[in-house]
Structure 1
Amino acid sequence: MIKVKHPEAHCNRTQEATITQLPENQQRFQELFFSYGNAVYRYHQEAAAHEPTHQDYEEWLEGLPENVSRGMAAKGFEWCRTVLSFTRYVQEKNDVGQEEYVRGLMGEEEFEEYKALTV
């Protein structure tokens, strides 16, 4: 069973259908993989709740390699609002760490089981 559901119902249906078509010995890994991915997706979606500012954007640009920073600056603040490294920057700046967030949604036992399978 996928513990952490995707916020969009059609994704949940697709994920469940995918799992049922797999051999039994592959199903548990895929359940954990989907739970982890869904938790990370939710993490990045919640960055919008912090209302990223232009100052956040400028700070994030400063921390990027020069060539990447130039490219992201050319794309502009509005375009970059959905770039994963920017949404993670915003979350981390607001004391919401990705690993802790995902662990909280998955639960300690499932999170550790996933990590052990992906090492």
Structure 2
Amino acid sequence: MIKVKHPLERCNRTQEETITKLPEAERRFHELMFSYGNAVYRYHQAAAAHEPSHQDYEEWLEGLPLNIARDMAAKGFVWCRTVLSFTRYVQEKNDVGQEEYVRDLMGEEEFEEYRALTA
């Protein structure tokens, strides 16, 4: 069973259909992968609640390698609001760590099972 659901129901249906078509021996691994991926997706979506500022954007750009910073600066603040490294920067700046967030959604036992399978 996929514990952490995707916010879009069509994605949940696709994930569940995928799981049911797999051999029994592969199902648990994929259930954990989907749960983890869905939790990370939710984490990045939650960054919008912090209303990223142009100052956040400038600070984030300063921490990037020069060639990437130039590219992201050319794309602009509005475009970069959905870039995963920027949304993670915003979350971390607001004391919302990705690992803790995902662990909270998945639960300690399932999160550790995921880590053991992907180590």
Report the counterpart of residue 88 of structure 1 in structure 2. Answer: 88
- Which residue of the partner structure matches residue 97 of structure 1? 97
In the alignment, the residues of structure 2 paired with residue 11 and residue 52 of structure 1 have an alpha-carbon distance, to the nearest angstrom, of 27
1:87 is displaced (CA, Å) by: 0.1
Aligned to 1:62: 62
Partner of 1:9: 9
In structure 1, what residue type is equivalent to 2:112? E
Partner of 2:45: helix, strand, or coil?
Answer: helix
Paired residue secondary structure (2:85): helix
Question: For residue 78 of structure 2, what is the aligned residue in structure 1?
Answer: 78
Structure 1 residue runs of 4+, over 2 Å off? none
Aligned-residue sequence identity (percent) comes to: 83
Query: Which residue in the other structure is 1:108 paired with?
Result: 108
Aligned equivalents of 1:114 and 1:25: distance in 2? 15
Gaps of 5+ in 1: none
Structure-1-length-normalised TM-score = 1.00
Give the match for residue 30 of structure 2: 30
Q: What is the TM-score with the length of structure 2 in the denominator?
A: 1.00
Matches within 5 A, 1:34-45: 34-45=34-45
Matched position secondary structure for 1:52: coil
User: Match for residue 53 of structure 2?
Assistant: 53
Deviation, structure 1 residue 74: 0.2
Q: Residue type of the partner of 1:5?
A: K
Aligned-residue Cα RMSD (Å) equals: 0.2
